[in-house]
Amino acid sequence: VSQATDIGSIQAEGGQLLDVLVQGGMTHLVGLPDTISSALIDAVERDDGVRYIPVTREGEAFALSAGLWVGGADPVVVIQNTGLLESGDSLRGTIIRMGVPLLCLITYRGYGKMTAAGLEPSFDSLERSSLVRPDVDSIALLTEPTLKTWGVPTAFLDSHEDLPTVTEIWDQARRDSSPVALLLRKKLQSC
C-alpha cells in the first residue's frame, strides 16, 4: 500500500471515529498527534462542531481537560502511550482525584513488535530482560499494567467493529466519575 493511499484511508476512517465521539458529546479533542491519531485530529480540524486543542506535553492535556470539564465541556484526550507515562502525575493527581469522566484515546506504540516477539503486556513480563530487548519497545509492555495499577478501565479499538466500545467505555467513565482508556493498537485502517 502506498503511503498516499494509506493516509487517505486513515483520514476517512478517522471521520467514522469522530462521528461516534461527536454523538457521544465530545466538545474538544485535547492532545498530541502521532501517526495513529493524526487521521482523527485531521477530521476534527475539518469539523466546525469540535475544537482541537494541541498541547506541548501530554500532562497539559489532562490539566486542560479538567478545566474544560469544570466549565461544562466534554473533552476527550488523545495521546501516545509514551506520553501516558510522562503525564502520570496529571492523570493521577487531577483527573482521577477530581473524578473527571474523561475518555482517553491512547495510541499503543510498540504493540505490533511486542506481540511479534511473543510477549504479552502483564506484570509477569516486566522483567529487565524483556524491557531491554532491542526487538521490543518497552512502552508496550508497560502500558496496560500502568493503567491497571492506576485503576483506569481499559478497552481496545482495532477496527470499525469495535466502535460501539467507544460509547460503552465512555458511559462507564460517566457512571463511575473516572477516566477510562481506549487503546488504539493499530492505525485507523478500519475505523
Domain membership of residue 116 (yes or no) is no
DSSP 11-61: HHHHHHHHHHHHHTT--EEEE---TTTHHHHHHHHT-TTSEEEE-SSHHHH
Domain for residue 122, yes or no?
A: no
Write down the pLDDT at residue 2. 32
Q: How high is the mean pLDDT of the chain?
A: 89
Task: Measure the CA–CA gap between 74 and 101, rounded to whole angstroms.
Answer: 9
Q: Supply the pLDDT for residue 121.
A: 84
Task: Residue 163: give its domain's CATH number.
Answer: 3.40.50.970
Given pLDDT bands bounded at 50, 70 and 90, which one contains residue 190? very low
- Per DSSP bridges, beta strands 51-54 and 75-80 are unpaired
| Residue 78 maps to a domain | yes
Flag whether 71 is in a domain. Answer: yes
The predicted structure's pLDDT at residue 77: 98
- Residue 120: pLDDT over 90: no
Domain carrying residue 9: 3-107+139-184
What's the chain's Rg over C-alpha atoms?
Answer: 16
pLDDT one-digit tens code per residue, 83-92: 999 999 999 9
Is 13 within the bounds of a domain? yes
Position 134 in a domain: no
Cα 34 to Cα 40, 134, 188: the distances in Å are 10, 22, 12
Contact status, residue 106 vs residue 81, Cβ threshold 8 Å: yes
Flag whether 82 is in a domain. Answer: yes
Helix, strand or coil for residue 178? coil
Kindly indicate the confidence band of residue 10, based on its pLDDT and cuts at 50, 70 and 90.
Answer: very low
Q: What is the pTM of this model?
A: 0.89
Report if residue 49 sits inside a domain: yes
**Total domain count, the chain:** 1
CB 159 within 8 A of CB 125: no
